[in-house]
A and B are shown apart, each in its own frame.
Chain A
Amino acid sequence: MPKTATRQKTTTKTNKSLSNGNNKFVKQKPEEKITDKVDPKVSQNEHKERKKSQKGLIKNVEPELLKEMLYQMVLGRIFEQKCAEVYRIGKIGGFCHLYIGQEAVAIGSMMTLREDDLVITAYRDHVQAMVKGIPPEAVMAELYGREGGVVKGKGGSMHMFSQEHNFYGGHGIVGGQIGVGTGMAFAQKYKETDNVTLCFFGEAAVNQGIFHESLNMAQLWKLPCIYICENNKYGMGTSQARAMSISSIAQKAEGYGVASEFVDGMDVLAVRAATERAIKRAREKSLPTLLEIRCYRFMGHSMSDPGKYRSTDEIKQYQLRDPIFLFKESLLDAKVITDKDYEEIENRAKEAVEKALKFAEESPLPDEKELFTDVYA
């Protein structure tokens, strides 16, 4: 199998441009050399650099919120680890795409939202669903295909929805939700609300026509939509380098006049800061933004992914930059939390996941009559 291309230097350099947040466009640097090299030193340096950045940004956020962000990240991690565990013993069926490694993206961006803001995402949706407020019980019961699931056992892993929480799903067709999210933003403008829409998708979705159609309309009609490209470097088992002629997704946004930024997706506070800028632009000026958030999934594409397309060295290198580890260290250094606090956070998350698991185990299977309900309104 080909070795995996990574772009360490791009991430480092573009992060610097994040700090001057008022720029309409972050200028794209010329295409940097794509390297197959796996170098732990690079990772360690980047980790250090992000720590420095977090030290600066930490002051801008309330300590209680910082703790809650860390809790949500830990909860997401432990929840997904539990999913992997019970998937392997057959408790969860079908496709199951885990979020492990990408937590800083959902938490950093979504915890800047108001309750009435809208969120839509692809099929890697468990953590986004919980961050938007859906109880872990309802998500786990959905994974179990039970009556108590958030969509009554009809959607499964890929299709979490909650109208109450303005969570518009969980979508299984790569890129499809980019257009739907654009329509949700269209409706907010039409109804003259100041709600913003966060629309998540992976970098491979950028190769679909709907991405380009959506960005064109969003800028043409000035829609308050924030497009969050979670660039985890692989579309299933195909690396970005093998699938995309230009590696900069932010540069593609420029083609439509849409403002864009690169963000390091290992850094929850950098994600937060960039999202805040995008939200301001959307809420106050009704303008779209594209955030290319570079992250890495530590697990396979789905539970059925043997992962032969990338080296364990590569995974290890990114694990050195674990977003939870980074944020935890930053909060300890800033004395926002103590080791004991972290232990408590972890225990609380474990308890929440155990509670969710118990709820799912005890929730009955859907009644057979449910096969034919909700087909038509």
Chain B
Amino acid sequence: MAEMTIRDALNQALREEIIRDENVFIMGEEVAEYDGAYKVTRGLWKEFGDKRVVDTPITELGFAAVGVGAAMAGLRPVIEFMTFNFSILAADQIINHAAKMLYMSGGQFKVPIVFRGPNGSAYQVSSQHSQALEAFYANFPGLKVVMPSTPADAKGLLKSSIRDDNPVVFLEQERMYGLKGEVPEDEDFLIPLGVADVKREGTDCTIVARSMTVPLAMQAAEQMQGEFDVSVEVIDPRTIKPLDIETIVKSVKKTNRLVIAEESHAFASVGAEISYQVMEKAFDYLDAPIKRISTAEAPMPYAKNLEELALPDVPKIVAAVKEVCYL
């Protein structure tokens, strides 16, 4: 084990997979000579050269398409979006092409590709650079959607995503690149897609959180323990699709209370889907209505106070836990 940031854990995963499989290459804006807009690909171009680390023009639809065609023809591209907001330009390739190719071709053409990059808010970057798109991509059969929240998960999940034969949307978070944690150094350290992780065990209330809201949920849990002696269990699905609903249901059956914390708009969100599935599978176990903390139903504002108001935070999650616990 070694302590490192999420940024370095992702870098290590990429490096190991480039070395392991000659068909793996990284492509995107500023990934090579510039070392990555957020330095996730730092040093890789120097080490592996133009063939394996490919700078592209600012042409999101175009390079996503090149990735899809290359994957159909046997390569395993990792396509970096500088932020996932720009992936919307490439949505035709991700949704209309990558997600459906295997099905439309009657099982003949696999598209083993990873689309990765930061998702969600950063620091005061306003409306067009702060969107969380997991619900959008998770809606389409054929895509897998992954959202790590720790350095170890980031490494193990990215390596699994690169080795997966399906198109994977791998959503990072800019605010979390510097977050540190222990990471196994084993080159075959893999975390299977579709398996949730219990980040904190508890007995009185379940919080389901992902990506940026996981550390917030952990702090909220500590606060609830200290101030109210409420034992909170925190579950990170890690993969949005396929979703490990069983782990969530098992926890709800134990705690009888559920709060969902997410950094996306509430309407038709992943939290809405989890709420539905819990209602379907554990309705009789719930002692309170499910409570959801999401980003405000408005485009992201620039002003610091408004941005903070829009986003989930520890006090909002604590208030939600208190509410479902009738405190």
Structural contact, A151 and B105, CB atoms closer than 8 A: yes
The stretch of A12-20, A101-109, A152-160 that contacts the partner chain: A152-160
Contact B102 A179, beta carbon cutoff 8 Å: no
Please tell me the size bucket of the interface on A: 35 or more
Q: Is B107 an interface residue (CB 8 A)?
A: yes
Whether B69 and A161, one on each chain, are in contact in the complex, defined by CB atoms closer than 8 angstroms, is no
A179: min CB distance to chain B, Å:
2
Q: B104 within 8 Å of A by Cβ?
A: yes
- Number of A-B residue pairs at CB separation under 8 A: 139
Decide yes or no: A377 and B68 within 8 Å by CB, A213-B59, A216-B57 being known contacts: no
In the complex, A135 has a CB within 8 A of chain B: no
* B75 partner residues in chain A, CB cutoff 8 A: 187, 190-191
Q: Which B residues are CB-close (under 8 A) to A187?
A: 69-70, 72-75
B-contacting residues, A130-174, CB 8 Å: 149-155, 159, 161-163, 168-173
Contact check: which of B51, B56, B92 meets A190 at CB < 8 Å? B51
B65:A179 contact, CB within 8 angstroms = yes
Chain A contacts with B in 199-241, Cβ cutoff 8 A: 209-210, 213-214, 216-217, 220
With CB as the reference atom, state the residue of chain B lying closest to A169.
Answer: B105
Asked if B109 CB lies within 8 Å of chain A CBs, one says yes
Contact B104 A169 (CB under 8 A): yes
The answer to whether B68 and A154 have CB atoms under 8 Å apart is no
Name which of A31-39, A62-70, A322-330, A368-376 contacts chain B: A368-376
Cβ of A154: which chain B residues have Cβ within 8 Å of it?
103-104, 106
Do the beta carbons of B104 and A179 come within 8 Å of each other? no
> B61 is contacted by which of A159, A172, A209 (Cβ under 8 Å)?
A209
Q: Are A180 and B68 in contact (CB under 8 A)?
A: yes
Q: In the complex, what distance in Å separates the CA atom of A185 from the CA atom of B101?
A: 18
- Nearest B residue to A210 via CB reads B61
Using a Cβ–Cβ cut-off of 8 Å, how many residues does chain B contribute to the interface with A? 40
Contact status A179-B142, CB under 8 Å: no
On chain B, the residues within 8 Å of A257 by CB distance are none
Of A190, A217, A375, the contact of B102 (CB 8 Å cutoff): A375
Could you tell me if B110 and A377 are in contact, using CB atoms closer than 8 angstroms? yes
Give B76-120 as 1s and 0s: 1 = Cβ < 8 Å from A's Cβ atoms. 000000000000000011001100011111111110100000000
Residue of chain B at shortest CB distance from A182: B66
Is B166's beta carbon under 8 Å from chain A?
yes
**Cross-chain contact A375 with B142 (CB below 8 angstroms):** yes
Within residues 209 to 234 of chain B, which ones have a CB less than 8 A from any CB in chain A? Answer: none
Residues of B within 8 A of A168 (CB): 69, 72-73, 109
Give bound CA distance, A151 to B105, whole Å: 5
- Distance between B164 CB and nearest chain A CB, rounded to angstroms: 8
Let me know if A183 is at the binding interface, CB within 8 A. yes
B148 at the interface (CB under 8 A from A): no
Q: What chain A residues lie within 8 Å of B142 (beta carbons)?
A: 375-376
**B49 CB within 8 Å of chain A:** no
> A154 CA to B25 CA in the complex, in Å?
31
Interface of A is mostly: mixed
The 0/1 profile, CB within 8 Å of B marked 1, for residues 343-360 of chain A is 000000000000000000
Of the residues B66, B108, B141, contact of A161 by C-beta under 8 Å: B108
State whether B62 touches A216 (Cβ < 8 A).
yes
Instruction: Say yes or no: A151 contacts B104, CB within 8 Å.
Output: yes
A184 to B69, CA, bound (A): 5
Nearest residue (CB) in A for B50 is A221
Q: Looking at the complex, which one of B51, B61, B71, B108 makes contact with A151 (CB distance below 8 Å)?
A: B108
Would you call B69 and A374 a contact (CB within 8 A)?
Answer: no
A40 contacts B by Cβ under 8 Å = no
Whether B103 contacts A183 by the Cβ 8 Å rule is: no
Judging by beta carbons under 8 Å apart, are B102 and A183 in contact? no
Residue contact B97 to A171, C-beta cutoff 8 Å: yes
A176 at the interface (CB under 8 A from B): yes
| B28 located at the interface, meaning its Cβ lies under 8 Å from any Cβ of chain A in the complex | no
Q: Is there a chain A Cβ closer than 8 Å to B67's Cβ? A: yes
Specify which chain B residues have a CB less than 8 angstroms from the CB of A376 in the assembled complex: 102, 142, 144, 166
CA distance A187 to B27 in the complex (A): 13
Q: Does B137 contact A (CB under 8 A)?
A: no
Interface residue B16 (Cβ < 8 Å from any Cβ of A) = no
Q: Which chain B residues lie closer than 8 Å to A214 at the CB level?
A: 62, 65
Complex-state Cα separation, A209 to B64, whole angstroms: 13
CB of A346, distance to nearest CB on chain B (Å): 32
Question: Contact between A191 and B97 (Cβ–Cβ < 8 Å)?
Answer: no
Complex CA distance for A152 and B166, rounded to whole angstroms: 20
Interface residues of A (CB under 8 A from B): 118, 120, 149-155, 159, 161-163, 168-173, 176, 178-188, 190-191, 209-210, 213-214, 216-217, 220, 373-377
11 contacting pairs across A/B (C-beta < 8 A): A151-B106, A153-B106, A159-B104, A173-B96, A180-B72, A190-B51, A213-B65, A217-B57, A374-B106, A377-B110, A377-B165
Which B residues fall within an 8 A CB radius of A?
A: 25, 51, 56-57, 59, 61-75, 92-93, 96-97, 101-110, 112, 141-142, 144, 165-166
Known: A169-B105, A213-B61, A214-B62. 11 other contacts (CB 8 A): A151-B104, A169-B101, A169-B104, A173-B96, A176-B65, A180-B69, A180-B72, A181-B69, A210-B61, A216-B59, A376-B166
